[in-house]
Structure 1
Amino acid sequence: MSTITYYLDMQRPEQIIGKPLPADLSVVECQHKQYQLNRFLYQLVGEPWQWTDKLSWSDAQWRALIEQPGHRTWVAYYQGAVAGYYELLRDAEGVVEILYFGLAEAFFGQGFGGPLLTQALQSAWAWPGTTRVWVHTCSLDHPSALANYQARGLRIYREEVEAEAP
């Protein structure tokens, strides 16, 4: 079975098709950068989807990613528990990648994905100087991931198919 990676983007903030944040879900930016928190969030959210590429990273590698000026993190909380998170990474040209986005497994199916993605897109566009927002997902991600990205106004601009090794 092959894996399909989808690259989606948005050229203007007016393209956001928003979904309101439920009153009991709060989203807070981590203004004090803590690479250990990002490592925890990566594991918490990524575990069901085998996010493994950074599991072997050293503290120095995590610190280098998280502490760079163009990196920002937000955490979603529901009744005091971490419900999900997203990370944004902006380059020198103002292009913002939604580097990581997702919900903790305990919160699947509760309708939080659309509102949290709306927040991620609004955060990206509220960052002064943003020129474009993009994200990638793949066929190994949550079955609703691609549909959520498209429902919020992101459009596929590239697909890559990687055949599974025999």
Structure 2
Amino acid sequence: MIHRAGERVDYVVTFLEMDARPASPRPPMPVGPASALLVAERPPVWWFLALYDAVGSEYEWTDQHDRPRPELETFLADPAVTLHTLMRAGWPHGFFALDARERGVCDLAYFGLPPEAIGQGLGRFLVETAVHAAWDRPGVARVTVNTNSLDHPRALPLYQKAGFAPVRRETRSRVLTRDRASVGD
């Protein structure tokens, strides 16, 4: 079924948690082109939004564009928030943002790969790296993430393979910004 831009659709948000550090070691960098995982220091809003759009434009990631710029600047400048970019062959192949502003919790607030990087085995590397980086933060007792049925269909299984367990689901609705073949279940 085709859903058109401007149409209101229901989607399901799945909230997941992990309450213990994974037993597996930190994954090695995948073989292939020159690669580096970079942590941005006080990244500018445009860099975050460029990554956010590269990954999420096909999945209705639009909310951060509605957030007041000063609020987004404050979020990105907070020392409890870190933005990591996987650079490979000279361009961003994925990113994740960790938000540890809540005591004892580190949220994998943003995660993904742009369409051109999907299918290269980088998602598993990046999510496992994000999980280890989250657990490396002092005082973390729980790591959280959420995904929804508008996201890439492999997002939920990827999080579960990385050790996250669903803890609740919510149905929400939104107006689509682009045509979509489906909205998941």
Deviates most, 128-137 or 52-61: 52-61
Task: Mark the CA change 1:34 to 1:148 in structure 2 (over 3 Å): closer, same or farther.
Answer: same
Distance in structure 2 (CA, Å) of the matches to 1:17 and 1:160: 33
Report the CA distance between 1:19 and its aligned residue: 5.2
Please provide the CA RMSD for this pair. 2.1
Number of residue pairs aligned between Structure 1 and Structure 2: 165
Report the CA distance between 1:111 and its aligned residue: 1.1
Q: Which runs of 5+ in 2 are unaligned?
A: 1-8, 176-185
Within-5 A mapping of 1:8-87: 8-14=16-22, 20-24=28-32, 25-87=35-97
Which amino acid is 1:42 matched to? Y
CA deviation string 1:99-146 (max 9, x = no partner): 100001111111110000001001100111111100000011001000
Residue from 104, 110, 115 that aligns with 1:94: 104
Report the CA distance between 1:43 and its aligned residue: 1.4
Q: Percent identity at matched positions?
A: 28
> Which secondary structure does the structure 2 equivalent of 1:140 belong to?
coil
Residue from 144, 147, 154 that aligns with 1:134: 144
Distance in structure 2 (CA, Å) of the matches to 1:164 and 1:63: 25
Residue pair 1:88, 1:98 contacting (<8 A) in 2 also = yes
Q: Which runs of 5+ in 1 are unaligned?
A: none
Higher Cα Rg: structure 1 or 2? Answer: 2
Distance in structure 1 (CA, Å) of the matches to 2:130 and 2:56: 17
Match of 1:149 in 2: 159
Match of 1:107 in 2: 117
Distance in structure 1 (CA, Å) of the matches to 2:169 and 2:119: 27
TM-score, normalised via structure 2 length: 0.81
Distance in structure 2 (CA, Å) of the matches to 1:147 and 1:82: 23
Distance in structure 2 (CA, Å) of the matches to 1:54 and 1:86: 15
Residue pair 1:15, 1:153 contacting (<8 A) in 2 also = no
Distance in structure 2 (CA, Å) of the matches to 1:147 and 1:17: 20
> Which secondary structure does the structure 2 equivalent of 1:110 belong to?
coil
Report the CA distance between 1:26 and its aligned residue: 2.5
